[in-house]
């Protein structure tokens, strides 16, 4: 009778261990390598340019367009003002804009053979009456319209200009919220919302460090940056730098806010990766079975 009870308990424990192992395998199985796709179409570089220009002066720049298709392309150029519409920073473009007229191209259009690249010059002329602050223009490169089955389409790519009209500008950043998890078992993200109440954009540089809870020794670290436009709120997100071993740690968030003081916040992290949890469960099961056997004999 006692032996049969031991067998039943052992089978139940084995089933639990099998389920836990399956969970671990599911979470940690390596993703299949995705085939590399060759980019085809019209490409432009650089994708972003930051400039500071005095009122009443001009500045020259250039962009490179490349035909990565298998047919000749005619590329046309225009400029549009842009802004953001939400915290995820989706862009909205305005073609009829006085600010967009600050830009003139050295050529309105070019022909590109297959695989050919050309550099196109442009000039940004800031009026003397322009007030100091941020102005945002997209330099669009568009292919000629294509007609098929009565449908016309235009493919275009943009190079974004982040212009600061020099003068008395402000870059006031505010950290509105910071969200992170206290208990994680694997890769996890933190997120924050940043506000800019100033007149020009700022680049928020952040450094996240996972530290020993006892002596503040840095165990792991990650960093990055994000542009925040004036009058907007932006949500940023990145991974929490993970330690090698399970345990209790503190995560220090240092987030730059333009001209405002850097915001530093500390959160406690309980790191329990599934393999460590399984190992602890196995240890407890072995101890439990040993105690059970000792009591039944």
Q: In this predicted structure, what is the pLDDT of residue 147?
A: 56
Question: Residue 145 falls within a domain, yes or no?
Answer: yes
Please name every residue paired with 206 in a beta bridge, in sequence order, or none if there are none. 224, 255
Share of the chain above pLDDT 70, in %: 76
Same domain (yes/no): 259, 239: yes
- Mean pLDDT over the full length of the chain: 86
- Measured distance CA(283)–CA(275) in Å, rounded: 12
Same domain (yes/no): 159, 176: no
Question: Residue 282 falls within a domain, yes or no?
Answer: no
- Measured distance CA(148)–CA(156) in Å, rounded: 18
- Measured distance CA(245)–CA(42) in Å, rounded: 47
Please name every residue paired with 237 in a beta bridge, in sequence order, or none if there are none. 191
- Measured distance CA(111)–CA(88) in Å, rounded: 36
Q: Where does a domain end: 165, 198, 230? A: 165
**Residue whose entry in the numeric block shows the structure tokens 């600010």:** 99
Same domain (yes/no): 73, 151: yes
In degrees, rounded to 5, the angle at the alpha carbon of residue 137 between the alpha carbons of residues 134 and 140 is 165
Q: Where does a domain end: 149, 165, 181? A: 165
Same domain (yes/no): 158, 180: no
Same domain (yes/no): 200, 161: no
Question: Residue 266 falls within a domain, yes or no?
Answer: yes
Question: Residue 281 falls within a domain, yes or no?
Answer: no
Question: Residue 37 falls within a domain, yes or no?
Answer: no
Q: Tell me: pLDDT of 145 over 90.
A: no
Same domain (yes/no): 50, 146: yes
Same domain (yes/no): 190, 208: yes
Q: For 155-199, what is each residue's pLDDT tens digit?
A: 899 999 999 999 999 999 999 999 999 999 999 999 999 999 999
Same domain (yes/no): 186, 267: yes
10, containing H or E segment: helix 2-28
pLDDT average, residue stretch 12-40: 48
Question: Residue 31 falls within a domain, yes or no?
Answer: no
- Measured distance CA(200)–CA(163) in Å, rounded: 9
pLDDT average, residue stretch 62-71: 94
**pLDDT tier, 24 (very low <50, low <70, confident <90, very high otherwise):** very low
Strands (E) located in the chain: 42-45, 48-53, 58-67, 73-84, 91-94, 103-105, 109-112, 117-125, 133-143, 146-148, 151-153, 156-165, 173-179, 183-184, 189-196, 202-212, 218-228, 232-239, 247-257, 260-271
- Residues belonging to the chain: 297
Question: Residue 288 falls within a domain, yes or no?
Answer: no
Question: Residue 289 falls within a domain, yes or no?
Answer: no
Same domain (yes/no): 144, 186: no
Lowest mean pLDDT among 23-27, 213-217, 257-261, 292-296: 23-27
- Measured distance CA(79)–CA(95) in Å, rounded: 7
Same domain (yes/no): 46, 158: yes
Q: Tell me: pLDDT of 99 over 60.
A: yes
Same domain (yes/no): 238, 198: yes
Same domain (yes/no): 156, 178: no
By residue range, what is the domain housing residue 73?
42-165
Looking at the structure of the chain, the number of domains it has is: 2
Q: For 28-64, what is each residue's pLDDT tens digit?
A: 443 333 444 445 789 999 999 999 999 999 999 999 9
Q: Where does a domain end: 165, 199, 227? A: 165
pTM for this predicted structure: 0.77
Read off the CATH number of the domain in which 258 is found. 2.60.40.10
List the one residue out of 180, 144, 139, 141 whose CA is nearest residue 163.
139
List the one residue out of 157, 159, 261 whose CA is nearest residue 202.
261
Q: In this predicted structure, what is the pLDDT of residue 27?
A: 43
List the one residue out of 73, 188, 61, 55 whose CA is nearest residue 129.
55
């Amino acid at each position: 009778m006692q032996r049969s009870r031991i067998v039943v308990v052992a089978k139940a424990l084995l089933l639990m261990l099998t389920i836990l192992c399956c969970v671990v395998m599911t979470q940690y199985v390596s993703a299949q390598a995705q085939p590399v796709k060759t980019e085809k179409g019209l490409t432009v570089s650089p994708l972003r340019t930051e400039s500071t220009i005095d009122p009443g002066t001009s500045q020259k720049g250039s962009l490179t367009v490349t035909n990565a298709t298998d047919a000749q392309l005619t590329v046309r150029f225009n400029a549009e003002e842009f802004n953001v519409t939400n915290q995820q920073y989706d862009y909205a473009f305005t073609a009829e804009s006085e600010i967009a007229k600050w830009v003139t191209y050295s050529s309105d259009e070019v022909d590109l053979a297959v695989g050919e690249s050309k550099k196109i010059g442009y000039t940004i002329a800031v009026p003397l009456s322009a007030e100091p602050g941020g102005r945002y223009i997209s330099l669009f490169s568009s292919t000629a319209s294509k007609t098929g089955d009565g449908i016309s389409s235009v493919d275009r790519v943009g190079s974004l200009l982040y212009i600061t009209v020099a003068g008395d500008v402000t870059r006031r950043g505010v950290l509105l919220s910071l969200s992170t998890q206290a208990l994680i078992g694997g890769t996890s993200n933190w997120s924050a919302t940043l506000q800019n109440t100033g007149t020009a954009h700022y680049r928020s540089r952040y450094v996240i460090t996972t530290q020993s809870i006892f002596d503040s020794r840095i165990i792991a670290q990650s960093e990055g940056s994000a542009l925040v436009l004036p009058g907007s709120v932006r949500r940023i997100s990145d991974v929490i730098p993970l330690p090698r071993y399970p345990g209790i740690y503190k995560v220090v968030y240092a987030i730059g806010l333009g001209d405002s003081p850097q915001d530093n916040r500390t959160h406690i992290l309980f790191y329990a990766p599934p393999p460590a949890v399984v190992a602890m469960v196995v240890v407890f099961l072995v101890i439990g079975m040993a105690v059970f056997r000792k009591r039944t004999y």
